[in-house]
Chain A
């Protein structure tokens, strides 16, 4: 007798998809617990940490935001290698608004978020027709170009950057601000992806000609997606600027482009939760490995390879599958 491993949905998952989920506490918990984990984890644990680890949490959250914004572009089939473009533009916008006009962070951050989104969308508008590697090339080159432009023309403080910007009143405010924004982005983007709008976006990535044939202007949709992604990236930049009290060329650094991609690939592309998990593994890991000195990058790379080879689908889809499905052996006849 031959046996086969069968995968089936858990009964509770099937029941919980229905309206009857509201009749039982167990099923309501089944639905709510996964969503509650990041909320509770982020909002409750961060205040308990030491100053140093709060600092790490903040930079992790910045990378997580960039990774989520990368994932949003990826949903529309736009492979971006230039999250640092969004980060840098947001950072310079907030920095110059604060430095030249003297606006407080409570104004500069929203302005930089929206303005950065618009500027990045305008910059990328001509290349929205490109797909895959061509779009990636342009996004990779733009931030490098802009940083050289700042260096050559000495605008916006040149190589020194803008210093002495207004900081946040205290560290806890900063931690809560970025965590709340992170959660809103995470659940907001997940909601967007689950709606009809998200269906169109996924359709563009799967087969753009079919979407065009349905009478949908895909350039307009792509522009909207870039705006969403760029706004989130610009927020991260604006926040980082006020955190460091400095806006400068490091905002266009390659780190901000590569790390989000690594985080999203480790966590699972297209889920938004995945990039968050990826960032919260990779960034603290890179901090913890600091003690190793020069070997840090070696171990870091090794971990990346292990994750990608071991769980190529990503951590989040793997956990999701285990949560929703059971496996059992059945006879084959």
Chain B
């Protein structure tokens, strides 16, 4: 029974990325990137370091607009974005990040983006700032249901928790905002294989239960590939391979590069 309704119907086009190019000054971070996400899918973006995963996530969530303005004011790197991002039939390429959160696109940034000085409950409540109180209470109960390990830590300062607990909290915070499209940037970074398994299971469970759409960027292909509906493999900002999860797992190139077989 879903806790909040995904608005679209299954198999409808949710997010379309067309000819996306991102320059950081003269360096090309994303080159002619194309991507399609359908409602209810879990989509993986797999690539090694410096492949452009984080840039893609920042562009999808709109954070790059803020970065662009800040850099311009400081006279630093000039960030240029070309291409088009269409979300549910609407061009959101120039939409501000706050607006995108209202539309349901929520990003969980890499490296445990939590408020270290606040405790777990405060963190979760803060993340649900746009929602009604009752909704927040409901989703927080759901998050604790999803990550039972967080329950005994409710009043612990978030900065004093372990990396895995912080990552669970970060994913939980993204959920409290009740996303339609959840963007997870390297959720498995720095976690032990067991922790990774817990998170992957939680994401699978999340998909089954709430029907929201998830885009995961990750460099660990082994735990991620089995759970995704569709995968994109990028290298140096270029799309090299696409396919469903099983297809990618059977691909010899992927095997050589990501499984070390």
Residues of A within 8 A of B (CB): 2, 4-8, 311-313, 317-318, 321, 332
B100 within 8 A of A: no
Assess the A318–B75 pair: CB atoms within 8 A: yes
B82 within 8 A of A: yes
B7 within 8 A of A: no
- Among the stretches B20-28, B115-123, B159-167, the one at the interface with A is B20-28
Task: Point out the residues of chain B lying under 8 angstroms from A312, CB to CB.
Answer: 73-75
B98 within 8 A of A: no
Assess the A7–B25 pair: CB atoms within 8 A: yes
B80 within 8 A of A: yes
Given A332-B21, A332-B82, answer yes or no on A321-B75 (Cβ-Cβ < 8 Å).
Answer: yes
Determine which of B26, B75, B76 lies in contact with A6 in the assembled complex, contact meaning CB atoms within 8 Å: B26
Task: Point out the residues of chain A lying under 8 angstroms from B25, CB to CB.
Answer: 7
Task: Point out the residues of chain B lying under 8 angstroms from A6, CB to CB.
Answer: 26
Tell me the bound Cα distance from A296 to B70 in angstroms.
32
For residue B116, give the distance in angstroms from its CB to the closest CB of chain A: 14
For residue B103, give the distance in angstroms from its CB to the closest CB of chain A: 26
Task: Point out the residues of chain B lying under 8 angstroms from A321, CB to CB.
Answer: 75
Assess the B23–A4 pair: CB atoms within 8 A: yes
Residue of A nearest to B32 (CB): A333
B78 within 8 A of A: yes
Residues of B within 8 A of A (CB): 21, 23, 25-26, 73-76, 78, 80, 82
For residue A210, give the distance in angstroms from its CB to the closest CB of chain B: 16
Task: Point out the residues of chain A lying under 8 angstroms from B73, CB to CB.
Answer: 312-313
Task: Point out the residues of chain A lying under 8 angstroms from B74, CB to CB.
Answer: 312-313
Assess the B75–A317 pair: CB atoms within 8 A: yes
For residue A330, give the distance in angstroms from its CB to the closest CB of chain B: 9
Q: A4-B82, A7-B25, A312-B73 are in contact. List 6 more A-B contacts (CB 8 A).
A: A2-B82, A8-B26, A312-B74, A317-B75, A318-B75, A332-B21
Task: Point out the residues of chain A lying under 8 angstroms from B76, CB to CB.
Answer: 313
Residue of A nearest to B25 (CB): A7
Task: Point out the residues of chain A lying under 8 angstroms from B23, CB to CB.
Answer: 4
For residue B32, give the distance in angstroms from its CB to the closest CB of chain A: 9
Task: Point out the residues of chain B lying under 8 angstroms from A2, CB to CB.
Answer: 82
Assess the B78–A7 pair: CB atoms within 8 A: yes
Task: Point out the residues of chain A lying under 8 angstroms from B26, CB to CB.
Answer: 6-8
Residue of A nearest to B23 (CB): A4
User: SS class of chain B's interface: helix, strand, loop or mixed?
Assistant: mixed
Tell me the bound Cα distance from A5 to B77 in angstroms.
12
Tell me the bound Cα distance from A317 to B82 in angstroms.
28
Given A7-B26, A332-B21, answer yes or no on A313-B82 (Cβ-Cβ < 8 Å).
Answer: no
Task: Point out the residues of chain B lying under 8 angstroms from A317, CB to CB.
Answer: 75
For residue B106, give the distance in angstroms from its CB to the closest CB of chain A: 30
Tell me the bound Cα distance from A299 to B40 in angstroms.
59
Tell me the bound Cα distance from A5 to B72 in angstroms.
13
Task: Point out the residues of chain A lying under 8 angstroms from B75, CB to CB.
Answer: 311-313, 317-318, 321
Tell me the bound Cα distance from A15 to B78 in angstroms.
24
Tell me the bound Cα distance from A8 to B25 in angstroms.
9
Task: Point out the residues of chain A lying under 8 angstroms from B82, CB to CB.
Answer: 2, 4, 332
Residue of A nearest to B73 (CB): A312
Task: Point out the residues of chain B lying under 8 angstroms from A4, CB to CB.
Answer: 23, 80, 82
9 A-B pairs with the lowest CB-CB distances in the bound complex, closest first:
A313-B75, A312-B73, A313-B74, A4-B80, A2-B82, A6-B26, A317-B75, A332-B82, A7-B25
Tell me the bound Cα distance from A242 to B180 in angstroms.
71
Task: Point out the residues of chain B lying under 8 angstroms from A5, CB to CB.
Answer: 78, 80
Tell me the bound Cα distance from A8 to B78 in angstroms.
12
Task: Point out the residues of chain A lying under 8 angstroms from B80, CB to CB.
Answer: 4-5
For residue B140, give the distance in angstroms from its CB to the closest CB of chain A: 33
Contact sample, A vs B, 23 pairs, CB 8 Å cutoff: A2-B82, A4-B23, A4-B80, A4-B82, A5-B80, A6-B26, A7-B25, A7-B26, A7-B78, A8-B26, A311-B75, A312-B73, A312-B74, A312-B75, A313-B73, A313-B74, A313-B75, A313-B76, A317-B75, A318-B75, A321-B75, A332-B21, A332-B82
Tell me the bound Cα distance from A150 to B25 in angstroms.
56
Task: Point out the residues of chain B lying under 8 angstroms from A313, CB to CB.
Answer: 73-76
Task: Point out the residues of chain A lying under 8 angstroms from B21, CB to CB.
Answer: 332
For residue A173, give the distance in angstroms from its CB to the closest CB of chain B: 40
Tell me the bound Cα distance from A233 to B80 in angstroms.
44
Tell me the bound Cα distance from A2 to B23 in angstroms.
13
For residue A29, give the distance in angstroms from its CB to the closest CB of chain B: 26
Residue of B nearest to A320 (CB): B75
Tell me the bound Cα distance from A7 to B24 in angstroms.
11
Tell me the bound Cα distance from A7 to B80 in angstroms.
12
Task: Point out the residues of chain A lying under 8 angstroms from B78, CB to CB.
Answer: 5, 7
Tell me the bound Cα distance from A321 to B71 in angstroms.
14
Residue of A nearest to B21 (CB): A332
Tell me the bound Cα distance from A24 to B186 in angstroms.
52
Residue of A nearest to B80 (CB): A4
Residue in A2, A8, A311, A318 whose Cβ sees the most chain B Cβ within 10 Å: A2
